[in-house]
Amino acid sequence: MRRIVADGHTLCNHGMRHEDMSAWPPERIAADLREAGDAIRAAAPYARIRYFRAPYGAWGQTPAVAASLGMQPLGWRLAVADWETPGTDELVRRLLDGITPGAVVLLHDGGRDRSQTVDAVDRVVPALRAQRWRFTVTYQWALATDRYVPPCGGTVPVLSA
Ligand SMILES: [Zn+2]
């Protein structure tokens, strides 16, 4: 966690146990988000936690609760189903075919072997940079454009893991 912060990445509260919160009442959601926030702050006391993303994109009442705790709900525009581990070449194809200006791309780097995702990102980022694409921390992008990335996870298949 400290290394993530030290490397300049933006943190996002994703709940404490990656549970589907879509049917939870606000009080239960708030307790879970506070617990996750406390765990993050225990590891990285000075980190700002600007965003919340509902596990599985199952938002329910989480956006309002997250906002009440000072976090903006953050969805995504492009999911390439890297959890299917379709091969690095296929992930590269999906990323290059699907990327749009301003897109937040959903990718995974923990929980199991994510080498295909890491390898795909290692290929796609230089390729897009060569085409003059820029990459930015979402917070900076939101400030620069005054745009809000609404929850949109409902358009993405629910994960089973
Ligand atoms: Zn997740």
The predicted-structure confidence for 32-72, as pLDDT tens digits, reads as follows 999 999 999 999 888 888 889 899 888 899 989 998 998 88
Alpha carbon of 47 to ligand 1 centroid (Å): 20
Alpha carbon of 130 to ligand 1 centroid (Å): 30
149 — pLDDT class (breaks 50, 70, 90):
very low
Alpha carbon of 89 to ligand 1 centroid (Å): 23
The long-range contacts involving 107-112, CB below 8 angstroms and separated by at least 24 positions, are: 107/80, 107/82, 108/82, 108/83, 111/161, 112/161
CA distance linking residue 55 with residue 159, whole number of Å: 9
Average pLDDT, the chain: 83
134 — pLDDT class (breaks 50, 70, 90):
confident
Is residue 68 a contact partner of residue 30, using CB atoms and an 8 Å limit? yes
pLDDT for residue 137: 62
Alpha carbon of 123 to ligand 1 centroid (Å): 23
Mean of the pLDDT values across residues 101-120?
Answer: 90
Alpha carbon of 128 to ligand 1 centroid (Å): 25
CATH of domain 75-151: 3.20.20.370
**Segments making up each domain of the chain, as ranges:** 1-74, 75-151
Alpha carbon of 125 to ligand 1 centroid (Å): 22
Alpha carbon of 18 to ligand 1 centroid (Å): 6
CA distance linking residue 102 with residue 140, whole number of Å: 12
Alpha carbon of 56 to ligand 1 centroid (Å): 6
Alpha carbon of 146 to ligand 1 centroid (Å): 26
Whether pLDDT at 138 is above 70: no
3-state secondary structure of 146: coil
CATH of domain 1-74: 3.20.20.370
Query: CATH topology of 1-74 equal to that of 75-151?
Result: yes
Alpha carbon of 54 to ligand 1 centroid (Å): 7
CA distance linking residue 98 with residue 91, whole number of Å: 10
- 55-69 residues labelled b (16+ CB within 10 A) or e (exposed): bbbbbbbbbebbeee
Single pTM value for the model: 0.78
